[in-house]
Amino acid sequence: MSLSWALFRNESILPAVDLIDAKLETRATMRKEFRSLISLEEAQSIVLSRPPQAAARTATLQESRGCILAEKIVSSQDVPGFSRASMDGFAVLAEDTLAAREDRPVSLRLAGIVPMGALPQLRVAQGEVAEVSTGSMMPPGADAVVMIEYSQVEADQVLIRRPVYGGENVQAAGSDISFGEAVLFPGTRLVAREIGVLAALGRTDVNVRTLSVGVASTGNELVAPGQPLAAGQIYDINTYTIAAAVDDCGANARLYGILPDEKGSMAKALQKMSGECDMILVSGSTSAGAGDMIFQVLEEVGELIFHGVNLKPGKPTIFGLINGKPCLGLPGYPTSALTVFSCLAAPAIRTALGQTHTGKRVAGRLAGPLRIEGRRQMLAVGLSGDLVYPMDKGSGSITTLAGADGIIDIPAGVEFLERGEAVHVELFSEAQPADLVVAAENTLLLEKLAESLPWRLMLLNSGSVRARLYLEDGVADLACVSGPEAALEGMELIWSYKRELGLVFRDAGVLSDLDGLRIVGWHRDFAMQAAFERSLLALGLSHPRYVRAARTHSAVAAAIASDRADLGFVEKQAAIEAGLGFKPMGNDEIMLLARPRNVGDALIKSLVSALSQAGGA
């Protein structure tokens, strides 16, 4: 007989009905339904609006591995600090080798040997050579190195069988990293290549951001790994997977193990975590079932902000605050917990630390054709979207690693790869993909914005010539160019501004006689170099004595300020910021070019808006 029929037939059953109703009411109170489900986007917005607060500390290089950089790293020296041989062989005057041929070698006198790690005790005169090893300091007088394969020693004579040009097989001082050059920025994760850069600069410690994240699981059925399992028990997975994911984001996971499914004990544990950590992550006990109580604890000892997200998996997700610290309740199932962590916790942690990451192996396609020696090669490459481009500046260059995202393995026997060919990039660590890539003629305005934008702008200080090529090939989203040939057919001008250029110096007296001055120039792909040489020619100097070449205005100014050079060419603001003298020589126009189909992109619009607000036209 059904309960409803019994009620109709016999009033004597009413006491039993009252008891059942009371139990159902109690059960309903314990089971408390989900609040209105919110969208994932709304949940992300809420969590990101209440991020954990990171701190900063000083760490040794060894301690800093995996940490997030909290300071801008500007080189206090040149790397290398001296011109050095990049091959084993003989240091020569290039002009002495012009007539050298395989069948008609040039004979030069062996003046001596330059040992590794020692100051040269000789000078190479015309008609002489000095034996050098890879990394040896170049002796005075020599300007190139003939590889040992193209030479032959006979008593005190060396036969040279191949001509070399000035600078061949020589790594010039400051060619890798220039004094005053910004090489690493806040928010960068310090892994092998970045730590190598710091070591190359002589740093022993560095300021890093720290974030402590408390991690725990709940459930009476859980047992810590290594302990015996009883009937109905399973090992705690989430504490370890979530802690590893926290570490991958650059934060420090603090493990609190398995919390008891008892309200009072759980409340004490969560309050303890809030006192010791910057953020709390707890998995399990987030549903609306009778045994799930995190939402109840959060309401009683903190602030429950949302309970339930319209996400599969991840519906029972909880978020709130305990003692002002963000607390995220993750689902109990490991896959669900990791999914929600990736969607909500990871972005909050990265935002607090100022960094992002992806996986460790990605597929891509070559941005341009690639010619290889035919030997098996691990080529350092950068990533721009799905485009892969080589970053190789030579095996002795630490900035090859600093700018590279990973390597591609090129098998032996392959001598040419076509543009667009599919490749797989093995990442050095978690990649930090740029939101927008700008190949640029260096400008202080754009460089400063790269530090302050809320998204990652990658600047490739390539000069105007390469910037156009990178834009055409799709490596860059935008090209920042100047010079008489700045415009590019098929590309759209989206922003421009004029800047004043001129000579920069410590002492105005040097302008009275430019002959013999130590001059810092620009790399040849930069429009700045052509403008500089026009200015020098107008002042009567046709053969300037360049002692170094730079890629940024800051590096030029730093070279002058530190007495590494006497004269340079920069935009006016760089001279002002360095406290140097400035002689105006003219204006140029900086233009930002984009592919027409990308002009409406939200990030490009955001960049143009930021440039305009910062003072550009």
**476 is a domain residue:** no
Question: What's the pLDDT band for 8 if we cut at 50, 70, 90?
Answer: very low
What is residue 260's predicted lDDT score, i.e. its pLDDT?
84
Q: Model confidence over 35-55: pLDDT tens digits?
A: 578 888 899 999 999 999 999
What proportion of the chain, given as a percentage, has pLDDT over 70? 87
What is residue 262's predicted lDDT score, i.e. its pLDDT?
86
Tell me which residue range forms the domain holding 608.
446-458+487-617
Indicate if 568 and 602 belong to the same structural domain. Answer: yes
Indicate if 509 and 408 belong to the same structural domain. Answer: no
Indicate if 497 and 542 belong to the same structural domain. Answer: yes
Q: Model confidence over 133-147: pLDDT tens digits?
A: 999 999 999 999 999
Residue 71: pLDDT above 60? yes
Window from 274-278, 424-428, 512-516, 587-591 with minimum mean pLDDT: 424-428
Residue 102: pLDDT above 60? yes
Residue with tokens 């709390």: 280
Indicate if 99 and 232 belong to the same structural domain. Answer: no
Indicate if 369 and 332 belong to the same structural domain. Answer: no
Local structure of residue 138 (DSSP, 8 states): P
Residue 400: pLDDT above 90? no
Q: Region 8-17: what's the mean pLDDT?
A: 31
Cβ-based neighbour number of residue 167 at 10 Å: 14
**441 is a domain residue:** no
The amino acid at 371: R
Q: How far is CA 214 from the centre of its chain?
A: 27
Residue 523: pLDDT above 50? yes
Residue 11: pLDDT above 60? no
Q: How far is CA 615 from the centre of its chain?
A: 27
Residue 25: pLDDT above 80? no
Choosing from 333, 353, 373, the residue where a domain stops is: 353
Choosing from 171, 190, 221, the residue where a domain stops is: 171
Residue 281: pLDDT above 60? yes
Question: What's the pLDDT band for 495 if we cut at 50, 70, 90?
Answer: very high
Closest CA to 444 of 594, 578, 605: 578
Choosing from 294, 328, 353, the residue where a domain stops is: 353
Closest CA to 318 of 308, 326, 310: 308
Q: How many domains does the chain have?
A: 6
Which ranges constitute the DSSP H helices of 354-414?
398-403
What is residue 267's predicted lDDT score, i.e. its pLDDT?
92
Q: Region 161-188: what's the mean pLDDT?
A: 92
Indicate if 451 and 595 belong to the same structural domain. Answer: yes
Q: Over the chain, what is the mean pLDDT?
A: 85
Indicate if 306 and 415 belong to the same structural domain. Answer: no
Indicate if 506 and 571 belong to the same structural domain. Answer: yes
Residue 561: pLDDT above 80? yes
Residue 452: pLDDT above 80? yes
Q: Model confidence over 320-334: pLDDT tens digits?
A: 999 999 999 998 888
What is residue 404's predicted lDDT score, i.e. its pLDDT?
65
Q: Model confidence over 123-133: pLDDT tens digits?
A: 999 999 999 99
pTM, full prediction: 0.63
Indicate if 320 and 367 belong to the same structural domain. Answer: no
Q: Model confidence over 195-243: pLDDT tens digits?
A: 999 999 999 999 999 999 999 999 888 999 999 989 989 999 999 989 9
What is residue 338's predicted lDDT score, i.e. its pLDDT?
81
Q: What sign for the dihedral angle of Cα 418, 419, 422, 426?
A: positive
Q: Region 509-531: what's the mean pLDDT?
A: 93
**554 is a domain residue:** yes
Classify 588 as helix, strand or coil: strand
What proportion of the chain, given as a percentage, has pLDDT over 90? 59
**Six-digit token pair at 516?**
């013999």
Q: Model confidence over 479-489: pLDDT tens digits?
A: 999 987 656 67
Indicate if 202 and 252 belong to the same structural domain. Answer: no
For residues 196 and 35, the answer to whether their CB atoms sit within 8 Å is no
What is residue 574's predicted lDDT score, i.e. its pLDDT?
96
Residue 83: pLDDT above 50? yes
What is residue 614's predicted lDDT score, i.e. its pLDDT?
82
Alpha carbon distances (Å) from 180 to 75, 210, 259, 397, 555: 5, 27, 52, 17, 5
Residue 118: pLDDT above 50? yes
What is residue 340's predicted lDDT score, i.e. its pLDDT?
84
Indicate if 496 and 601 belong to the same structural domain. Answer: yes
